[in-house]
Chains A and B, each alone.
Chain A
Amino acid sequence: MSGHNKWSTIKRKKGAADAKRSKIFSRIVKEITVAVKEGGPDPDGNARLRLALNNARGANMPKDNIIRALSKAEKENTSLSEVTYEGFAPNGIALFIECLTDNTMRTVSNVRALFNKGAEAWAPMARWPLCSNAKASSRSLKEI
């Protein structure tokens, strides 16, 4: 287990390069979006949002980006689903993929392509869509 912990901190340090920094930011923006949709825009009443905002600060995300993410999250109409996949990379290394997506078909197709690229087998373990409270579900029903 200790090997993995070091990996996650190494990963963040190596994330100093531009491309990786923008990926780190877009991950956090997504997490902010999901948190706002789940529990509203006020961090005081929303633990998930509070956590996402702390992580944004920890990643040195500029305040402008954070504000933009918050206002976009309130307006955004698409519903995000949390989906996970498990499979194997070459040499029997197990992979666990966590996704946040507004289009599970696109995600499945991309994940499959990546696994075909370098992996041996895969199994999608789709989870239920993110929106579980009444207000949010009626929003996602509208989209259908």
Chain B
Amino acid sequence: MFERKGIITLLKGDLNADELQMEIIDAGVEDFEETDENFVITTPVESFAAVQRKLEEMGIEAENAELQRIPVETKTLPVDDALKVLRLVELFEEDDDIQNVFHNLEVTEEIAEKMDS
């Protein structure tokens, strides 16, 4: 249900998406996404170190880089049900022994906005 992937998050700064992608793709990048403030790079486990090294060589420091468990498929739920699940996820995350909680819920913009209230 989950695959292990390297997830590297960069602050956009004045980095150019196309140039960056071209530079790092040979190091083994699987997916490249852009959000408002970040580039999010996905790598297979085997290339995680190589892509990090490549970014280091380019003088780019990642905001965060870690191995995560990514769901093979996500599941959509109505907003209220989704919020219940995310509240449970939060309870898990509050436990000191628990480092990471991964799930396969599709978190839409609407759900993300409602999470705060």
Contacts and interface: CB of A to CB of B under 8 A. Distances in A.
A7 interface: yes
A90 B97 contact: no
Interface residues of B, number: 51
Interface stretch (A8-16, A64-72, A133-141): A8-16
A62 interface: no
A90 B81 contact: yes
Interface string B85-117: 100110111111111111111111000100110
Interface string B54-72: 0000000111111011110
Interface string A84-97: 00100111111111
A98 B2 CA distance: 12
B2 A96 contact: yes
Contacts of B101: 95-98
Contacts, number: 146
Interface in A118-137: 118-119
B7 interface: yes
B7 A98 contact: no
Contact of A9 (B40, B88, B100): B40
A93 B115 CA distance: 17
B59 to A, nearest CB: 13
Q: Binding site of A, secondary structure by majority: helix, strand, loop or mixed?
A: helix
Given A3-B74, A9-B9, A90-B81, A27 B31 contact: no
B103 A93 contact: yes
A97 B68 CA distance: 11
A93 B52 contact: no
Nearest to B87: A118
A114 B92 contact: yes
Q: Closest 5 A-B residue pairs measured CB to CB?
A: A58-B63, A101-B97, A96-B102, A98-B100, A118-B88
Interface of A: 1-10, 12, 14, 23, 26-27, 30-31, 47, 51, 54-55, 57-59, 86, 89-101, 103, 106-107, 110-111, 114, 117-119
